[in-house]
Structure 1
Amino acid sequence: MEKKSGKLGKINMKIESKTVTLKESQENIFNFLSDFRNFENLIPQDKVSKWTASQDTCSFNINGMADIGMKITKLEQPSTIHIDSHGKNPFAFTLTANIKEIGENSSEVNLMFNADVNPFLSMMAEKPLTNFFNMIADKLQVIYG
């Protein structure tokens, strides 16, 4: 008989934001998203506090519940921005911004989030995180729509 450690196993939580169409070139969207100082305009202010950012790192608190830190770890110009959890976080994660050119001054963008978490945390966090990433996509569309 196999001994159980008493710890819940981890599952892979994948969240994909809605895809938004923007009236801006792929290059300009890539440049905007590859600088965290621009994210302050994208983050829902009523959901986030303690926002700080440099070009490639940022940290903030979500609704007084969790401190989040992120770092841009790889840029694949002009289509993909890889972001990893950085510093103090409730769990390790990756976030990828995918930018697809659909015309000279038109692009599509979506965000892909990936984390290994316990099933309970996945159940609790999936819907709020999906809403959070969709709000960021919506803000991009307001700015560049």
Structure 2
Amino acid sequence: MGLSKYTSEIKLIDHKDEIVFNYLSNFEHLSEYINDGLLQKVTQQVPQIKITNFESDQDSCRFSIGGMGQSEIRIVNREPFKTIKLASSGSLPVEITFWIQLLPVSENQTKMKLTLHAEMGMMIKMMAGNKLEEGVNQLADMLTRLPYPKE
């Protein structure tokens, strides 16, 4: 198993850092966007992975991956308005640690960068490495477009 690092481009979100942090540090907001249609798109992109039974609470989300069982991603650290750190557990074939880093630019703009550390075997890296790089940037783009609440 080897550690690989994937980093998104720096993105700009047109909201205050506190609002962005509070929204992203609560997994319950994810359940509004993770639906059967989105899960089918993931399966189309990577046919070896079929995700079902998605559920979330404030600190974690759980889901099943076909043939592998139940997995979980949990928020393990929150540094208010700066960093949200997540880690995986369960039956994923990859161990991940993921950071969302926020930096205020102005009163109503925040820079965001995503960093993913993935501990995986060589075969998985060969199959999924490029998809992970692409996926981190797609996730960053998606997070910039979320309907963050008004103050």
- Distance in 2 between residues matched to 1:42 and 1:101, nearest whole Å: 25
2:3 alignment partner in structure 1: 12
Which residue of structure 2 aligns with residue 5 of structure 1?
none
**1:73 — aligned with what?**
76
Aligned residues: 135
**Using the alignment, how far apart are the partners of 1:99 and 1:58 within structure 2?**
21
Mapped partners of 1:20, 1:35: distance in 2: 20
Match of 1:131 in 2: 134
Structure 1: tracts of 5 or more residues without a match: 1-9
- Unaligned runs of at least 5 residues, structure 2: 43-50
Q: Give identity over the alignment, percent.
A: 26
Radius of gyration: which is bigger? 1
Residues 116/54 of structure 1: CA separation in 2 closer, same or farther (3 Å cut): same
List 4+ stretches of structure 1 deviating above 3 A: 40-44, 64-68
Q: What displacement does 1:115 show?
A: 2.0
Output the TM-score relative to the length of structure 2. 0.77
CA contact (8 A) 2:93 2:120 kept: no
Q: What RMSD over aligned residues (CA atoms) do the two structures have, in Å?
A: 2.3
Within-5 A mapping of 1:1-145: 10-41=1-32, 45=38, 46-47=41-42, 49-61=52-64, 64=66, 68-143=71-146
